[in-house]
Structure 1
Amino acid sequence: MPAHTFAAAPKPYTVDWAAQVDELHKRLDNARWPAQEVVPLDVSETDHNNAFGLGAGPELTLMKELAQGWRDFDQGAVQERLNSFNNWTVEIEDLSIHFLHHRSTRAGAIPLVLCHGWPGGFHEFLPVIELLTEPDSADAQAFHVVVPSQPGFAFSSPPKTAKWGMEDTARVFDKLMTGLGYDKYVAQGGDWGSITARCMGALHQDHCMGVHLNFCPVPPPFPLNQFNPRTLLNWMPRLILPDAQRAKVERGVAYLEKGSAYYVMQQLTPRTPAYGLNDSPIGLLAWIGEKMVPGIEDAAKHPNPTLNREALYLTLSLYWFTGSIGSSFLPYALNPHFTTFLTSPKYHLPNFALSSFPNELFCPTPRDAGRSGVLRWFKEADDGGHFAALEKPQVFSEHVREAVAALLSAK
């Protein structure tokens, strides 16, 4: 496929939601809180230990504390920070696509597109942009970094048809990269961004030289995939599934059983939660906070965490001020389940690398991950989880650098 030519050149974009801040503050100040905990707190120790994430959801005391934190969040400072990066928009296939674009000053820099998922956004990658474009070591590989907002997220317009799939997003991102002059590039992604990157690597091999993932759930092979995951886990002998890997599989099974209610709603009835979350900042806080708070609490055990409450408030602000929470459900609503992308030969990756972060929802072994494609590089991090670039920017950047070296040496 030939390189894309933009119908009109990209335009600089300025983040400005100052006019909406007062209304948000009024809504937070006038929140209608429940009179008591929705679910009483006298659960058994067994129930507490068996809960996933925040269990039945964030407790009332925590919610009020987070709401006050968002109310006090310095919106002017965060706008200034976002505008310190190179924001652009460009028209591609009747969509306005927002993206960050930072070119390295280093000779031999490699074009790299970073693809986000849900409930994140382009801002997840802010801590790694300088690490990737201008590394401290003169010998370290540098990158020209492009960070697009998925269609329907933040400042990118949503797709105008219910027939939009991740292949379409991948095609648009491929056009973005080649339109910027990057005929050859590497794609990186986690969460739904891993599916975007996977589609780029599998369907646009003429431009995408390789793919680095930090999220790669892999279903069991046949005939094991015919069994209920819990049954399979309980009966799998330790000779086949050692304790260390069993604990990782347990986390994935617990997520499926107890932590994926949002997934079902965003996939099957996305309009229903969208109305309430678009209208209520408290609802939005609970919906997204449920997903981010456990990681924030884990990150707080280490000094100077970059995944913190401020990162939660920034995420909330981006969804609130852009009114994009409903359209951010479209990857769930308009696409088949992850399994299709993971098992269909159409999406088999010819050249990919995988970083495994221990607190991720699914952590396959290299052998299992190899069923997704030709795995050239695999590395386990000591810490971190679903928001890898935000949680562990230094580790994430080092992994990307090592992975890309392995991917390109295999070409």
Structure 2
Amino acid sequence: MPDRAGGKAGAGEVFAVFLKLGLTSFGGPIAHLGYFRDELVTRRRWLSDAAYADLVALCQFLPGPASSQAGFALGLMRAGWRGALAAFAAFTLPSALILLVFAMTAAAIAGPVGTGALAGLKIVAVAIVAQAVWGMARTLCPDRARAAIALGAVVLLAFVPGAWGMVGAIALGALAGLVLGPGAGGAVGGPVAMPVSRRAALAALGAFVALLVLLPLVAGFSPVLALVDSFYRAGALVFGGGHVVLPLLQAELVGPGHVSQEAFLAGYGAAQAVPGPLFTFAAYLGAVQGQGPGGVLGAALALAAIFLPGFLILTGVLPFWDRFRAMARAQSLMRGANAAVVGILGAALYAPVFTGAIGDMRDFALALACFLALMLWRAPPWAVVILAASGGAGLALIG
């Protein structure tokens, strides 16, 4: 898979390259993948365009944070396991540290300007999630059959809210994908060749499944285990992009009362203003939640737990991907599951995002302005977050 012109490198070089990306990559996972291609394929020639396209296809096929999984795999390809860890740490830490600082200081914000700015961060979440729903629906639900799967997921969640409803929606969506039509099959791009043995891959898959099954059984014995269980399950069930983690984490943390809805939405809005993966929202939640240690330790545990399942399943699939991706039935399953994900995110757009942020027509007008700034004027998300925080402060001042 590596381009011969690129050669091999050490973990230090991988860390430096991904630290630059972690400090400058705004705009969500699709934008991150574009930054990766420009830096690593075009400029540094670490691999070919065909190999990169194939790696991206794999990461988008699997549950987990696609851009972080791609970075992990690129570090693995370039400098082995130390390179994989270096890529993850460098790409993740900048935004995680910023959100940790926000978590530790948000409670001290007082007065109309501070509380209004926090309200603005909740309002901007409406616009950002609406943009994500619209974009994903156009890509993942382009026909009547997949639109029906998405609608079915919304209906299911209306009667079975929470994490189990989401799991059921994804499972039923995958089955519906099989029934409604087979995939085209066939391989695309270049081969994925990674330094992962089949034995290591099977061990990673076993660990992924074992943790998913065992953590809920032992979560009641310790607040730390309960914290790890919540974030691990959310990370294991995310299909279709980082925004999908919103309803999963809301079900795990806000529903049981470990995080208030106000704090949850304020942190989600703040997460839009920082570079790097959206999954670093977990650092904020781990610091403010009430079921575990909280603070720095809670942030570290939450961050490790939410990223771990995506990296385990990626490691487990790498040696088998070339054969599996050519199976039409596998493609059908994923098309149905991805359509269900659109419905899950659409349900989250209503509750908790809209219901928790919009109190009157002025709030709605600010949310609409943010949405138009994102969709029509192509403003970067961090600029829209600043607009929303300023607008929220302004609304609080005028009463």
TM-score higher than 0.5: no
Normalized per residue, the structure richer in helix is 2
Q: Please give the range of the TM-score, normalised by the shorter of the 2 chains.
A: under 0.3
Normalized per residue, the structure richer in strand is 1
